[in-house]
């Protein structure tokens, strides 16, 4: 055997292993597809479904287990499954819990691709769905039938930002024995606790008297905070429900990369500070919009007059003045402005970039054609062209000047 061969082999079977007892703020990136077992007997014995051992990269590494545990702490859940995107979290919940003949209920303001999944794959698999009015728990209760197995909740709804009566919706699901899953991307575990909706849990991480069954989260947004990672999580408090989701997750072969998990772990310590900063800037800009005649309606749950403001207060602001509300809001631009003018306004913003997703350092803007997204124009929304803003971490003053220059140039006041 030549020396080179020996070197190559010892490079792989290297004697150096990091000493136990290394302590630092981040615990490192553990990457693996293969995980070794000391003996065949040990291999046969290992349990992959919990965190007592490691069996295969897809089933978890120290890095992904750490992220799962920290997300449970953030959201007040007990078990977590990581998936490659927020949409994969929504899809995995549906595939784990629904079978042919079942029915799914979605709010009319649900995240668009979740509706598309129901209209596409789920329908092809013989799973039907109905859309309910997010502002009417009565309508939800009416639509829960003998085949209903899962209800999606979103607070607030995507794009139009209506905040539903979340506790009442959960009660209606529970009264009829139907599982409810919340898309918790907006709240991020900070604005309210999905497993303690009334804020009466005995201690941190405890389930309160009212809880959703599942919290799905696009970690792509605030937990990543960089606009550079796609990931999702599915958090539960019931071990049997978790196992159902975990088994489906395993059979679908879903996993996340250790480097991505580490990126999210690195961002988590600052999520609370970032969330509050995004929130503060969004409110400053929303207040400016509210005073502009071009704004037919401001859609921001923390503002009086925005649909569901009282529901936001009940769930997110138990002590006046302390409620959190993320960095998202929409403006219904007065219908006297054409879509072309609104598009030109968006095109001419300098700091706000045109792009989907949110939660990163850069402010974003997207105009939406709400009419094509809903079953009908909702009674609680004024007519107009909807523009959604997501505030980044830039100075609020600079962002405000950007809005002013683009408004003056492309949305001049027409009296």
- CA nearest 149: which of 105, 110, 117? 105
The whole-angstrom separation of Cα 194 and Cα 290 is 30
**What minimum distance in Å lies between the beta carbon of 316 and ligand PLP?**
16
Partners of 295 in the β-ladder: 333
At closest approach, how far in Å is the CB of 89 from ligand PLP? 7
332 strand-pairing partners: 297, 386
**Cβ-based nearer residue to ligand PLP, 158 or 281:** 158
DSSP 3-state assignment of 263? helix
The residue among 98 and 106 lying less far from ligand PLP, judged by its C-beta, is 106
Neighbouring CB atoms inside 10 A of 201's CB total 18
Which of helix, strand or coil describes residue 385? strand
| CB 240, min distance to ligand PLP, A | 25
Smallest separation (angstroms) from ligand PLP to the CB of 357: 6
Closest distance to ligand PLP from the beta carbon of 175 (Å): 26
- Shortest Å, Cβ 209 to ligand PLP: 26
Radius of gyration of the chain (CA): 23
Name the residue with the smallest CB distance to ligand PLP. 86
Taking the C-alpha atoms of residue 301 and residue 321, their distance in angstroms, rounded to an integer, is 14
Closest CB 226 distance from ligand PLP, rounded Å: 13
Name the helix (H) or strand (E) containing 63: helix 62-75
CA distance 294 to 299: 14
Instruction: Between 296 and 365, name the residue whose CB sits nearer to ligand PLP.
Output: 365
| Phi, psi angles (nearest 5°) of residue 243 | -60, -40
Q: Quote the tokens at residue 282.
A: 């969004």
292 in Cβ contact with 414 (< 8 Å): no
CB of 104 vs ligand PLP, minimal distance in Å: 16
Query: Which of 35, 161 has the CB closer to ligand PLP?
Result: 161
Please say which residue, 158 or 237, places its beta carbon nearer to ligand PLP: 158
In this complex, which beta carbon is closest to ligand PLP, that of residue 114 or of residue 294?
Answer: 114
How far apart are CB 114 and ligand PLP at their closest, in Å? 7
Question: Is the distance from CB of 129 to CB of 103 less than 8 angstroms?
Answer: yes
Distance CA 389, CA 108 (A): 20
State both tokens at 378.
């909702």
| H helix runs in 176-270, sequence order | 239-252, 258-267
The footprint of ligand PLP (CB under 6 A) covers 85-87, 111, 158, 183, 185, 218, 220-221, 230, 232, 357
**286: its two tokens:** 């929303």
CB closer to ligand PLP out of 184 and 306:
184
Q: How far is the CB of 197 from ligand PLP (least distance, A)?
A: 18
> Based on the number of CB atoms within 10 Å of its own CB, is 88 exposed (0-12), middle (13-18) or buried (19 or more)?
buried
* Strands 353-354, 148-154: pairing kind: unpaired
In the complex with ligand PLP, which residue's Cβ is closer, 151 or 218?
Answer: 218
- Return the DSSP state at 82: E
- Closer of 294 and 390 to ligand PLP (Cβ): 390
Closest to ligand PLP by CB, 216 vs 314, is 216
């Amino acid at each position: 055997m030549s020396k080179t061969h020996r070197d190559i082999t010892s490079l792989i079977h290297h004697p150096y292993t990091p000493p136990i007892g290394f302590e630092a703020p981040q615990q490192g990136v553990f990457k693996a597809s293969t995980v070794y077992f000391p003996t065949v007997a040990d291999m046969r014995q290992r349990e992959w479904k919990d965190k007592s051992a490691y069996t295969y990269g897809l089933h978890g590494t120290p890095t992904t287990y750490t992220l799962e545990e920290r997300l449970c702490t953030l959201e007040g859940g007990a078990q977590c499954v990581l998936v490659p995107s927020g949409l994969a979290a929504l899809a995995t919940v549906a595939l784990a819990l629904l079978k042919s003949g079942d029915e799914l209920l979605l709010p009319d303001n649900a995240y668009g691709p979740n509706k598309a999944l129901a209209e596409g794959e789920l329908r092809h698999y013989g799973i039907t769905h109905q859309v309910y009015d997010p502002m009417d728990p009565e309508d939800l209760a009416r639509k829960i039938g003998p085949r209903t197995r899962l209800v999606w909740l979103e607070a607030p709804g995507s794009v139009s930002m209506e905040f539903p009566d979340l506790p009442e919706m959960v009660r209606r699901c529970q009264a009829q024995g139907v599982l409810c899953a919340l898309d918790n991307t907006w709240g991020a575990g900070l604005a309210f606790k999905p497993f303690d909706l009334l804020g009466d849990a005995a201690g941190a991480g405890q389930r309160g008297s009212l809880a959703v069954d599942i919290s799905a989260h696009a970690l792509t947004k605030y937990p990543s905070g960089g606009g550079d990672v796609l990931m999702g999580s599915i958090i539960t408090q019931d071990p049997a429900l978790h196992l159902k989701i975990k088994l489906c997750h395993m059979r679908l072969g879903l996993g996340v990369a250790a480097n991505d998990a580490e990126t999210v772990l690195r961002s988590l310590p600052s999520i609370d500070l970032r969330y509050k900063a995004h929130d503060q800037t969004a409110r400053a800009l929303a207040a400016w919009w509210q005073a502009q005649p071009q704004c037919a309606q401001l859609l921001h749950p923390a503002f009086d007059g925005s649909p569901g403001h009282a529901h936001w207060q009940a769930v997110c602001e138990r002590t006046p003045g302390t409620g959190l509300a993320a960095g998202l809001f929409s403006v219904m631009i007065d219908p006297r402005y054409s879509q072309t003018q609104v598009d030109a306004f968006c095109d001419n913003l300098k700091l706000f970039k045109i792009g989907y997703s949110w939660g990163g350092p850069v402010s974003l803007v997207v105009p939406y054609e709400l009419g094509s997204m809903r079953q009908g124009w909702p009674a609680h929304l004024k007519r107009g062209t909807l523009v959604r803003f997501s505030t980044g971490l830039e100075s609020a003053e600079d962002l405000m000047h950007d809005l002013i220059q683009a408004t003056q140039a492309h949305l001049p006041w027409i009296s």
